[in-house]
Amino acid sequence: MSTDSGHRRRADAVRNRELALAAATALLAEPDTGLTVEAIARRAGLGAATVVRAFGGKDALLDAAVAGLLEPVVRRARDLLDEAAPEQALRTFLAELIAFQSAHHAINDQLGGLDLPATTARRADLVHAVEEMISRARRDGTVRTDLDPAVATTLIGETAYAIARSRPSEHLTDAYITVLMDGLRPPSP
C-alpha cells in the first residue's frame, strides 16, 4: 500500500467521523427523532457500518456528540465565574442553561442506559462550576447559607431542566429565574 493511499484512507476516516458526529449533533437538537445508527448514517450520507467503524459504536458516537454540545456550556459557566459578580453570574448562567436545555431537552430521553464517560465528565464539570457560583454567592451574602451547596446545585439543575422542558418564552424564563433566585436569597432578619 502506498503512503498516498494510506493518507487518503485516513483522510476519509477523519471526514466520515466528522460527518457522523455532525449528524448525531444535529439529530440531538430534533426532539422527536430517534437516535439510531441508521438515522445518523442517513443524515451524514454514510452507511451504517461506516458510522459504527468511525466511532466503534453508537454509545461512543453519542458520547462524543453530547460532550461536544456541553463543552461550550461548561466553558461559559467558567467564564462567567471570572467576569461577573456571583449572583449575576448565576442568574445569567441559569438563563443560558435553560435556553440550551430547551433546545436540547430530548437528549436525556435518548441517553438512558448508554455508557457515556466523556458526557459524564462534562456534566461533572458543569456541576462543579455551578457549585462554585453558589459558593461565591454564599460568601458574597447573596445566596442563603442554610442550604447545603449540593442541595442548592441540585435544586437549580432540576428546576432549570423542568423549566426548559416546558419551552417557556423569554419573559416566562425571566420570571422563573427571579422566583428561583428570590428563594435562594438569605432570609430577612
Q: Which residues of the chain have pLDDT under 50?
A: 1
Q: Specify the pLDDT at position 88.
A: 94
Closest listed residue to residue 27, CA positions, set 13, 38, 11, 16 = 38
pLDDT of residue 188: 80
Domain ranges of the chain: 1-56, 57-189
Topology, domain 57-189: Tetracycline Repressor; domain 2 (1.10.357)
What's the pLDDT tens digit per position in 125-159? Answer: 999 999 999 999 999 999 999 988 888 888 888 88
Predicted TM-score (pTM) above 0.75: yes
